């Protein structure tokens, strides 16, 4: 099944301030009127998730979670952008979970496959960094312990 949505790398490009502002104003106008369309809510959430600002990403993920719960027909789109939002916030396990749900439904989805590669790369990199930090902490602990043992042996 082909998809007309961009690959994950393309989806990481943020909207301009003006573009995001248009989506925000439309959403707020509908909130003030007492009826928000699913499309306006989704568009605003999409723009927020693509933002480089964490607070925007958090807000976008919350809106997408609402849509996911309330609108079964929009779940596919929500899964991808929930995964992307979690990925951008550094929540790689959550990103992998949402993206995995999408890939279960659409195993040939190139967008989700692309995001899966990005998530795996980040998780691997984070794992190596974690190992290096743990190794460094262990080395420092060993040096401190050796110093204490030497000091105790002198007395």
Q: For 47-84, what is each residue's pLDDT tens digit?
A: 999 999 999 999 999 999 999 999 999 998 899 999 99
Residues 7, 111 contacting (CB under 8 angstroms): yes
Work out the burial of residue 99: count CB atoms within 10 Å of its CB; fewer than 13 is exposed, 13-18 middle, 19 or more buried: buried
User: For the chain, what is the mean pLDDT?
Assistant: 86
Residues 131 and 71: their CA atoms lie apart, in Å, by 42
Contact 90, 54 (CB under 8 A): no
pTM above 0.75, yes or no: no
Residues of the chain with pLDDT under 70: 1-12, 127-139, 141-143, 145-146, 155
In contact, 102 and 83? CB cutoff 8 Å: yes
């Amino acid at each position: 099944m082909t998809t007309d949505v961009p690959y994950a790398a393309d989806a990481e490009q943020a909207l301009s301030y003006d573009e995001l502002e248009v989506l925000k104003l439309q959403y707020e106008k509908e909130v003030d009127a007492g009826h928000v369309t699913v499309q306006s809510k989704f568009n605003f959430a999409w723009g927020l998730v693509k933002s480089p600002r964490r607070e925007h990403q958090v807000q976008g993920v919350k809106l997408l979670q609402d849509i996911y719960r309330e609108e079964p027909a929009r779940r596919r789109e929500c899964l991808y952008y929930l995964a992307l939002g979690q990925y951008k916030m550094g929540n790689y396990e959550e990103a992998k979970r949402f993206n995995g749900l999408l890939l279960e439904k659409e195993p040939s989805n190139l967008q989700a496959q692309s995001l899966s590669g990005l998530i795996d790369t980040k998780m691997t990199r984070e794992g190596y960094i974690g190992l290096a930090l743990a190794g460094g902490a262990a080395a420092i602990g060993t040096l401190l312990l050796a110093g204490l043992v030497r000091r105790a042996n002198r007395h």
